[in-house]
């Protein structure tokens, strides 16, 4: 009888950290594990891997992912006792992850139904415990579902149900499992996960204490997450070449860099300055000639962002795509990567003089200073767009603008300040001044650029970090604090995001 090759019977099981190539498989598994609940989006899992990859685990069995769990580190004392899942996870993105925190917080565990009773959940919990020991964390905290509670909701309160489970009179697949794995009950949280109908939106707050924890000096709070912004109030004046334009732009980028700015912000369509030497009287033809400089413009700003180590909001520029002209704002990151935001609402003037087409998507961009959005001029006057961007995680909205009179400028300014209050975010406006006497429809400019905050005790008295003097060529440089913003959203005098009446109204969008 030939020697038996036992390798043909092997089915390897491995617990490892999640990788980007696992995302699609995990998303599919979640739909199977939690039918009827809102699943992760790809950007959620990508955010987990970018921010805290060592805290994301999966179980791979014979080449197939059959279980996974997600977590982040926090200082639990910073959070309200009755926090929700959205509060503790920053709506699933874990951008509130604090590597200096004391507690590992578990935000999801799932096991494929075909592989339950193989102790997959226990393996994932042990992986978390090993991580907590390795990172010297004080405890693991989880907001646990009670998925069998809906069967008993008419005859007992959630507290009574939990006590019956604790006394082994009722079996709950999650709570019973957690107690068997060394977790103790802290409290019950209502409205923890609104779409968890089986648990009637309740969750049990459970904790496992790391007996190997060694106390050491740590900051209890992250005191600041400062972001420095340099806003360029750009003078529109006649020039003779693209090189002269590039020289002016580099000068201001250098200024921003000298002051160690994280962002340099240029105004809307300030590249129309190039029209001053094109000698084209027809606005529609002039704008098409302007689009011929698109590659030069992109190459210039990409080089400057890397050279001066500053993220640049490159104002906006008219770009031709498939025989249409769009007003596009570009983000040039200091790592050399590029993003773009199309202007969504085109003014009657833009359409009349230049035939500009509208964009169709609100985008939010990741940067090394958190998530930001760009809303060009007229777009900031539509509150729905800012709310969409905020709901998608933006902390700062940059608004390059170009207005010809004080009334137009004040529309942009007042709306930017309103958006800062309504959404508890920072807003930044950057405009053009001066004149281009040889360029039709760009003859005069009016601006007073600035950086604005929510209106509460933590921020500047008037909600203004800084502003330029009106109608002069200058810059304003100011610091905004993303950590202060996070705290204000959680415990401010008013909490516009949290206090929305979602039972009465909501924004639905397809962009």
Rounded to whole angstroms, the Cα distance separating 442 from 349 reads 11
50 φ/ψ angles, rounded to the nearest 5 degrees: -75, -35
In the set 230, 377, 415, 468, the catalytic residue is 377
377 is known as an active-site residue? yes
In the set 129, 340, 343, 371, the catalytic residue is 343
Cβ(101)–Cβ(73) under 8 Å? yes
Q: Which two tokens stand for residue 348?
A: 């009657």
Rounded to whole angstroms, the Cα distance separating 192 from 87 reads 9
DSSP 114: G
Rounded to whole angstroms, the Cα distance separating 204 from 158 reads 9
Rounded to whole angstroms, the Cα distance separating 42 from 44 reads 5
281 is known as an active-site residue? no
DSSP 34: S
Cβ(98)–Cβ(124) under 8 Å? no
33 is known as an active-site residue? no
β-pairing, 464-467 with 450-452? antiparallel
The set of residues, in sequence order, having a beta carbon less than 8 Å from that of 256 and lying 6+ positions away, is 230, 232, 263, 264, 308, 310, 475, 477
| Angle at the Cα of 259 from the Cα atoms of 424 and 373, rounded to 5 degrees | 30
Rounded to whole angstroms, the Cα distance separating 47 from 31 reads 19
Bridge partner residues of 171 (DSSP): none
Cβ(310)–Cβ(253) under 8 Å? yes
Of 491, 368, 409, nearest in space to 87 by CA? 491
Rounded to whole angstroms, the Cα distance separating 313 from 367 reads 12
β-pairing, 139-144 with 263-265? unpaired
In the set 58, 60, 129, 268, the catalytic residue is 268
Name the 3-class secondary structure at 207: strand
Q: Which residues belong to the active site?
A: 268, 343, 377
């Amino acid at each position: 009888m030939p020697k038996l090759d036992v390798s043909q019977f092997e089915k390897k099981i491995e617990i490892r950290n999640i990788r980007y190539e696992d995302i699609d498989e995990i998303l599919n598994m979640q739909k199977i594990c939690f039918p009827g609940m809102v699943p992760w989006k790809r950007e959620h899992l990508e955010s987990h891997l970018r921010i805290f990859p060592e805290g994301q685990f999966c179980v791979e069995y014979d080449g197939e992912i059959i279980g996974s769990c997600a977590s982040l580190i926090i200082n639990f004392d910073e959070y309200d006792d009755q926090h929700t899942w959205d509060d503790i996870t920053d709506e699933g993105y874990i951008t509130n992850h604090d590597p200096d925190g004391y507690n590992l917080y578990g935000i999801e565990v799932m096991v494929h139904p075909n592989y339950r009773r193989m102790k997959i959940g226990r393996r994932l919990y042990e992986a978390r415990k090993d991580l907590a020991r390795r990172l010297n964390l004080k405890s693991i905290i989880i907001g646990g579902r009670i998925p069998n509670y809906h069967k008993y909701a008419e005859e007992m309160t959630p507290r009574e149900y939990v006590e019956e489970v604790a006394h082994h009179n009722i079996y709950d697949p999650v709570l019973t499992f957690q107690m068997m794995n060394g977790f103790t009950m802290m409290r019950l949280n209502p409205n923890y996960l609104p779409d968890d109908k089986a648990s009637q939106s309740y969750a049990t707050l459970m904790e496992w204490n790391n007996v190997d924890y060694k106390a050491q000096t740590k900051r209890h709070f992250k005191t600041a997450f400062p972001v420095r912004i340099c806003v360029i109030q750009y003078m529109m004046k006649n020039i003779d070449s693209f090189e002269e334009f590039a020289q002016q732009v580099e000068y201001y980028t250098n200024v921003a860099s000298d002051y160690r700015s994280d962002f340099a912000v240029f105004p809307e369509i300030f590249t129309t300055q190039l029209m001053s030497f094109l000698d084209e009287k027809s606005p529609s033809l002039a704008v098409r000639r302007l689009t011929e400089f698109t590659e030069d413009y992109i190459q210039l700003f990409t080089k400057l962002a890397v050279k001066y180590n500053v993220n640049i909001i490159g104002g906006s520029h008219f770009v031709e795509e498939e025989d249409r002209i769009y007003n596009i704002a570009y983000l040039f990151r200091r790592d050399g990567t590029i993003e773009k935001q199309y202007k969504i609402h085109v003014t009657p003037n833009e359409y009349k003089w230049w035939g500009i087409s509208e964009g169709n998507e609100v985008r939010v961009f990741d940067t090394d200073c958190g998530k930001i959005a760009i809303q060009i001029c007229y777009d900031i006057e539509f509150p729905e767009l800012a709310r969409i961007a905020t709901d998608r995680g933006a902390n700062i909205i940059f608004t390059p603008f170009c207005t010809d009179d004080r009334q137009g400028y004040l529309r942009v300014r007042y709306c930017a300040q309103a958006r800062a209050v309504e959404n508890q975010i920072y807003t930044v406006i950057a405009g053009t001044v001066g004149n281009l006497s040889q360029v039709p429809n760009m003859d005069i400019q009016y601006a007073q650029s600035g950086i604005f905050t929510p209106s509460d005790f933590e921020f500047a008295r008037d909600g203004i970090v800084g502003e330029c003097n009106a109608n002069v060529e200058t810059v304003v440089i100011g610091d905004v604090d993303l950590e202060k913003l996070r705290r204000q959203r959680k415990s401010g005098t008013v909490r516009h995001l949290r206090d929305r009446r979602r039972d009465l109204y909501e924004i639905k969008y397809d962009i």
